[in-house]
């Protein structure tokens, strides 16, 4: 029997560092290879977020997933035994068919963790790294990563959700290798932490995100100033830039049609937000804006994408809703799509999405949102994504450093070409 043939599929409820528990699935093959996949729901106010099956009992505020684990073992597992884990399309087809035949609608926590577990078991059975199982010999690029400089808080308002956003990351692109970019990031992070203490009296504990308390800053421009100064102080002007994951949904009051408590105390309309971004992009080395507007302002997104020349990432804008992602990409709302792998039904659906996005001139960005963990490093390399969410001075960054070594002397760090937008284009005159 081929060593990659699936012998067992088991599922259980596990804990996560978010509020909701995860469904965790283990796939074991004939050759003894093992793959673990998990999926859980992270906080999101996107109308396009995926659906999860919950226990609705008292435990975990109703969000337990033991029912989901049970269904996987009873319905999905028997359909997979005997299949080749290395043939993802076949495995995913079997997952979907078994659930559909049993009458279950598309809950991602019934399918995604199984699909990812099979993917990883397949890669282990072939004895090749995960990134290569995904992208084959074509997987030799390293994405641009970033260091988490500051996260959000309810610093300018009361009633808003915030949920840790906006998140500010320093992204390092102007270097020849991921390792060099990584070291420059370390230098800049040191300069930033020093400056932040000196100018704003704020202390950063490396590895923990800095949530700035109320009353310390007049506006987030102070943060942008400090970041820009630290990039210069470290001697990396033009080589390190700023990525803002705005999460504008969290600050939007749909009834009043106003953004509240975002960047400063002033209320802003959608039009004012667009002008503000245009001004900020001119004034600061901002290279990426993620969910800069609320999820229904597709026209605003398209305008920012067309006019700023930088990478505009959509996340809450379309969640994991395939039809919505397609229409937003077709309409030019964004030039980069955030793909939470474990938020799609199966890995094959992710592949189809990546194909669609890339064939429409845009790129994908991977983030650890719903159970992906460190594997976003391998997903990024496998899909040849130009950027990764954070993945700087963190465990994902370490995995990317070792991947760069593993690929060897011809590994290619994307550098500035990893960023979408006409500002970063090789083509000299963009019409």
Cβ 297 to another protein shortest distance, Å: 15
Q: Among 302, 322, 374, 401, indicate the residue that binds another protein (CB under 8 A).
A: 302
Cβ 351 to another protein shortest distance, Å: 5
Binding region for another protein (CB under 8 A) out of 146-154, 231-239, 353-361, 396-404: 353-361
> What distance in Å separates the CA atoms of residue 389 and residue 386, rounded to the nearest whole number?
10
Q: What is the Cα Rg of the chain in Å?
A: 22
> What distance in Å separates the CA atoms of residue 387 and residue 390, rounded to the nearest whole number?
9
Q: Which parts of 359-418 interact with another protein (CB under 8 A)?
A: 359-362, 382-384, 386, 407-412, 414, 417
* Residue 93 binds to another protein (criterion: CB under 8 A): yes
> What distance in Å separates the CA atoms of residue 259 and residue 315, rounded to the nearest whole number?
18
In the Cβ-directed half-sphere of 340, how many Cα atoms lie within 13 Å? 26
* Residue 117 binds to another protein (criterion: CB under 8 A): no
> What distance in Å separates the CA atoms of residue 336 and residue 99, rounded to the nearest whole number?
32
> What distance in Å separates the CA atoms of residue 308 and residue 280, rounded to the nearest whole number?
10
Only one residue has tokens 């076949």, namely 90
Q: Identify whether the C-beta of residue 98 lies closer than 8 Å to the C-beta of residue 354.
A: no
* Residue 354 binds to another protein (criterion: CB under 8 A): yes
* Residue 66 binds to another protein (criterion: CB under 8 A): no
| Closest residue by Cα to residue 240 from 364, 85, 416 | 416
Residue 159: strand, helix, or coil:
coil
Cβ 304 to another protein shortest distance, Å: 9
Q: Among 111, 188, 348, 387, indicate the residue that binds another protein (CB under 8 A).
A: 348
Q: In this structure, what token pair is assigned to residue 305? A: 């994408």
Q: Among 72, 139, 212, 223, indicate the residue that binds another protein (CB under 8 A).
A: 139
In the Cβ-directed half-sphere of 147, how many Cα atoms lie within 13 Å? 27
CB of 68 or CB of 334, closer to another protein: 334
CB of 397 or CB of 421, closer to another protein: 421
DSSP category for residue 73: I
Q: Among 305, 320, 367, 380, indicate the residue that binds another protein (CB under 8 A).
A: 305
Q: Among 202, 289, 312, 376, indicate the residue that binds another protein (CB under 8 A).
A: 312
Q: Which parts of 143-172 interact with another protein (CB under 8 A)?
A: none
Helical (H) or strand (E) element with 404: helix 395-407
Q: Among 72, 119, 184, 338, indicate the residue that binds another protein (CB under 8 A).
A: 119
Q: What residue spans of 284-394 are helical by DSSP H?
A: 298-308, 322-330, 347-359, 376-382
Q: Identify whether the C-beta of residue 64 lies closer than 8 Å to the C-beta of residue 55.
A: yes
CB of 188 or CB of 420, closer to another protein: 420
Cβ 137 to another protein shortest distance, Å: 5
Cβ 140 to another protein shortest distance, Å: 6
CB of 128 or CB of 258, closer to another protein: 128
Cβ 138 to another protein shortest distance, Å: 5
* Residue 323 binds to another protein (criterion: CB under 8 A): no
CB of 28 or CB of 354, closer to another protein: 354
CB of 131 or CB of 168, closer to another protein: 131
Q: Which residues contact 231 (CB under 8 A, 6 or more apart)?
A: 170, 188, 191, 237, 239, 240, 241, 285
CB of 205 or CB of 427, closer to another protein: 427
Question: Distance of CA 96 to CAs 122, 346, 349, Å?
Answer: 18, 8, 11
Q: Identify whether the C-beta of residue 142 lies closer than 8 Å to the C-beta of residue 381.
A: yes
Cβ 131 to another protein shortest distance, Å: 8
> First and final CA of the chain: distance in angstroms?
57
> What distance in Å separates the CA atoms of residue 385 and residue 376, rounded to the nearest whole number?
10
Q: Among 17, 58, 105, 137, indicate the residue that binds another protein (CB under 8 A).
A: 137
The site for another protein (CB under 8 A) is made up of 2, 86, 88-90, 92-93, 119, 122, 126-128, 132-141, 302, 305-306, 312, 330-335, 347-348, 351-352, 354-355, 358-362, 382-384, 386, 407-412, 414, 417, 420-422, 424-431
């Amino acid at each position: 029997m081929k060593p990659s043939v699936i012998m067992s599929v088991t599922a259980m409820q596990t804990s996560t560092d978010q509020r909701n528990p995860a469904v965790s699935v283990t796939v074991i093959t004939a050759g003894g290879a093992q793959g673990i996949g998990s999926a859980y729901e992270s906080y999101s106010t996107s109308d396009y977020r995926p659906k999860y099956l919950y226990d609705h009992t008292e435990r975990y505020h109703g969000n337990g997933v033991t029912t989901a684990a049970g269904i996987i073992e009873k319905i999905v597992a028997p359909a997979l035994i005997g299949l080749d884990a290395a043939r993802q399309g076949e495995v995913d087809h079997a997952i979907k068919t078994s659930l559909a035949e049993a009458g279950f609608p598309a809950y991602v926590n019934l399918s995604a963790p199984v699909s990812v577990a099979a993917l990883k078991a397949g890669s282990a059975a072939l004895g090749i790294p995960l990134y290569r199982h995904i992208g084959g010999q074509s997987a030799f690029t390293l994405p641009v990563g970033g260091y988490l400089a500051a996260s959000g808080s309810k610093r300018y308002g009361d009633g808003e959700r915030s949920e840790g956003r906006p998140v500010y990351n320093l992204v390092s692109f102007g270097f020849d290798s991921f390792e060099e970019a990584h070291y420059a990031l370390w230098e800049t992070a040191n300069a930033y932490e020093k400056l932040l203490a000196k100018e704003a009296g704020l202390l950063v504990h490396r590895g923990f995100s800095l949530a700035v308390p109320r009353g310390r800053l007049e506006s987030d421009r102070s943060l942008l100033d400090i970041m820009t100064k630290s990039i210069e102080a470290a001697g990396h002007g033009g080589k390190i830039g700023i990525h803002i994951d705005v999460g504008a949904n969290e600050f939007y009051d749909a009834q009043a049609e106003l953004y509240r408590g975002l960047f400063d105390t002033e209320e802003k309309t959608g039009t004012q937000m667009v002008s503000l971004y245009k001004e900020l992009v001119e004034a600061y080395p901002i290279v990426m804006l993620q969910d800069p507007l609320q999820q229904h302002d597709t026209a605003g997104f398209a305008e920012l994408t067309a006019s700023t020349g930088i990478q505009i990432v959509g996340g809450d804008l379309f969640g994991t809703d395939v039809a919505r992602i397609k229409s937003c990409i077709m309409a030019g709302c964004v030039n980069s799509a955030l793909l939470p792998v474990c938020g799609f039904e199966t890995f094959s659906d992710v592949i189809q999405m990546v194909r669609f996005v890339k064939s429409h001139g845009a790129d994908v960005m991977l983030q650890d949102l719903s159970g992906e963990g460190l594997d976003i490093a391998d997903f990024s390399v496998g899909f040849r994504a130009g950027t990764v969410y954070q993945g700087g001075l963190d465990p994902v960054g370490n995995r990317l450093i070792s991947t760069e070594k593993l690929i060897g002397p011809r590994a290619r760090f994307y550098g500035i070409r990893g960023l979408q937008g006409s500002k970063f284009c090789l083509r000299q005159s963009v019409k």
